[in-house]
Structure 1
Amino acid sequence: MTTDELFEIDDPRRGRVAAFGGMAFHEIRARTMLNRMAGAPAGGMAWTLNPYRGCAHGCTYCFARTGHQRFGFGITEDFSNQIVVKVNAADILRAELRRGRARGDWVMVGTSTDCYQRAEARYRLMPEILTALADHGVNFTTTTKSALLKRDTELFARAAECADVLVMTSLGSLDDRVRRAFAPAASPPRARLDTIRALRAAGVPAGVLIAPIIPHVGDHPAALDALVDACVDAGALVVFPDVMRLKAVLRPWFLHRVAADLPPRLARRFAAGYGRREAMPEDYVRRVTAHVDARARQHGLPTWPEYIAARTPAKPEPARQLRLL
C-alpha cells in the first residue's frame, strides 16, 4: 500500500512508507495530538493522545481494529502490519500544551493502540512525549502490554514528581498459552509484571488492567486469584478487571481465528458465547468482576472507581442564597 492510498494525494500530512520486518510504517505529520473526550468532567480523564495507529501486538479481540478503517486499511492483518506513525507527535503536543490544552485534566496516552509496540523501538516517540508532559505538569496515564516501557522508567519517575501519573500494564492471564493464542506479539505475562515491579521500585504509581478476562480460558476463580496475587506481589497499587467484549464487525474474523487456533471444544464455546452478541451476559460479567475486586480487597487494594475518585478534584458546592430571618 502506498501513501497515496493511505491519504489523498494533496494531503500535506502524507509521508513515506518505511518497510520493516514484514511491516509497513506510514510516516505522517499530525495536525493535532490532544483529543477531548465528549462529556468528560473537568479534572478527570478528559483527553486522549495516540502517537501510533495500528498495533503490531496483533491482539485478535482489540476494539481499536475498527478504527483502522478510517486510514484506508482493513481490520484484520492490516491492523498489525500497517502502522501509522505520527513522527511530529512531540512537537505538536508541546505546542498544544503551551496553549493551555489539557491543563488540570488527565491525558490518556495510547488509548487506541499501544505506545510501546514494536514501532516505538524504532521511532522513540515516547521519551519526548513524556518529557513534554512532565515539563507542563500534566496528569496522565498509559497502558501497555510491552516490556519496552521499562526503557523509560526514569522519565516516568520524573513525570511522577511533577504531576499525577499512573502506568498500567494490561494482563488477562498468567498462562502464556493464552497470550500466544490471543495476543501473539505482546510481551509474556511475567515480563509485564516485571515492568510493574521496575516502575514501583522507581517510585512510579503503577497498576494492572486485568483485561481482557477471556471466558473459558482465563476466568477460572483459582486462575484469577493467582493473577491478582501476582499483581500485588509486583507492587500494583490498583487492579481493574474487564471481561472481553467484541465489536459486531470483528466477531466473524475473531471466531474464524478461534476455530483455527484453539481446540474444537473451546471454539464451540466461543461461538456460543459471542456468535450473536458483543459481550457475555451481565450476571457473568458481574460475577467475574466481583471475584477480582474481592481478591484485591483481601490485599488492601482499592477498586478502580475508588482509586480514581481519590485523585479527582471534588466538585465545588453550589452557592446557596442566605435567608434573611
Structure 2
Amino acid sequence: MNDHDQPGLFDAASVAPPPTPAPGFRGITYHEHRARTLLNKIPGARPGGMAWTLNPYRGCTHACTYCFARDNHARLGLDTGEGFNTQVVVKTNAADVLRRELRGGKTGDDWVMVGTSTDCYQRAEGHYRLMPGILRTLTDHRVNFTTTTKSALLRRDIPLLAEAARVANVLVMTSLGSLDERVWRAFEPGAAPPRARLATIAALRAAGVAAGVLIAPVIPHAGDRPAALDALVDACAEAGAVTVYPDVMRISPGARDWFLTQSAAHLPPHLHQLLAASYANSRSMPASYVREVTAHLHARAARHGLPRWEDYIRDVSRRTPDSKSPRQRDR
C-alpha cells in the first residue's frame, strides 16, 4: 500500500473534469428484450450457498471505467467503451420469467445473487421499475438473496426489501471503494456519491434489512492509503454495516483499453502512469499486494466486530427465523 506521507496523487487543479452523465435518458439507447430465462446456475456452487445469478440489465449508465462487465458487451456485439455506458439491454419481462422459474422450487435453499453483472438500480430502473416485481417474486417464494448497488435509487424499494427479510435471508451490499469524492468522480462518474451510499446503508439498517459493504474496488495508487482505508471501514461500521468484503481492482481484457484511455484523459499524468504500469500487462495487482490490502481491511473491520462476508453468509444460512414459513414451491 502507499505510504501515509506520499504526496497527493490527486491534485485538484490537475484533474480534468469527468464526463458529465447525460440528463434524463438523452444519449442513451435502451434495447428492450424479452428474456427466455433469468436464473443462471453458478458452476460448482455448494448447496445452500451463492448458487444462482440474476441480471435484468446489461450495460450500465454508472459508467465505471474499470467495470469487468464491459467484456459481456463484446459478446453482445456492442462497444465495450462508451457503448457500455450508453447501450443498455433491458429484460422487460424479468419478473414474469423469474416467477415461472421459481414456481417449481428451482433454487431450493440456495442464495440468488441479483445484479452480479451490472447494477439493478442504475438510471434505467427509475423508468422500467423491474426490481419491485423481482423482489416481490423472490419474497413470495421465500428465496434467500443478495444484491449489490452503488445507487441511492435502491432506497425506493426498502419497504419491499424489509418484507423479504421477514421471510428469507436478505443481504444488501453497497459497493464503495473510497470516501474520496475525487476517486468517485474520476472512476465512477455516474454512480451515487460515497456519502449517499453510506446513507443508504443506514436507511436499510433502520428498516431492519441486513446491509454490508463490498469495499470495491480498492484502486491502487489512488484509494489504497491505510488511513483512507481505515476511515472507510469506520464509516461503514458507523452506518450500520453487518459485514465487509474487500476487493482490489482487477481490469478485465475487455475493459483495459477503455480504462487506460479514460485514465490518461482524466487523471494527473503521474497517477495515470502508475496505473498504466500496474495494469498494462496484468489484470490484477501482485498477490502479495492484494493480501496486504485485504488483511488490513479485515483487521480494521474486526475492531468493529464485523465478520468476513463468507463467515456472515455461512452463519446466517444456518439460522432460520421463526417467522419463516415453509418455502412455497407451488405459487
Structure 1-normalised TM-score?
A: 0.89
| 1:70, distance to aligned residue in structure 2 (A) | 2.2
Aligned to 1:249: 254
Task: Say whether residues 1:198 and 2:203 are aligned partners.
Answer: yes
RMSD, aligned α-carbons: 1.2
Contact 1:43 1:313 in 2 (8 A): no
| Larger RCO (alpha carbons 8 Å, 6+ apart) | 2
| 1:27, distance to aligned residue in structure 2 (A) | 0.6
Structure 1: gaps of 5 or more residues: 1-18, 315-325
Aligned to 1:317: none
Question: Could you say what secondary structure the match of 2:256 adopts?
Answer: helix
Aligned to 2:32: 27
Aligned to 1:296: 301
Residues of 2 paired with 1:38 and 1:115: CA distance? 23
Q: 1:132 aligns with which of 127, 133, 137?
A: 137
Contact 1:130 1:155 in 2 (8 A): yes
Residues of 1 paired with 2:258 and 2:76: CA distance? 20
Q: Which amino acid aligns with 1:45?
A: M
Q: Which amino acid aligns with 1:69?
A: A
Contact 2:80 2:258 in 1 (8 A): no
Q: How does 1:141-290 map to 2 (within 5 A)?
A: 141-290=146-295
| 1:308, distance to aligned residue in structure 2 (A) | 1.9
Residues of 2 paired with 1:133 and 1:313: CA distance? 19
| 1:313, distance to aligned residue in structure 2 (A) | 5.0
Question: Could you say what secondary structure the match of 2:166 adopts?
Answer: helix
Task: Say whether residues 1:89 and 2:76 are aligned partners.
Answer: no
Residues of 1 paired with 2:174 and 2:122: CA distance? 13
* Percent of aligned pairs with the same amino acid: 66
Structure 2: gaps of 5 or more residues: 1-23, 320-331
Q: Which runs of 4+ in 1 moved over 2 A?
A: 311-314
Aligned to 1:320: none
Q: Which amino acid aligns with 2:31?
A: H
Q: Which has the larger radius of gyration?
A: 1
Aligned to 1:41: 46
Q: Deviations over 1:60-108 (max 9, x none)?
A: 1000001012222011011110000011000010011102111211000
Q: Which amino acid aligns with 2:159?
A: E
Aligned to 1:8: none
Residues of 2 paired with 1:51 and 1:305: CA distance? 25
| 1:150, distance to aligned residue in structure 2 (A) | 0.3
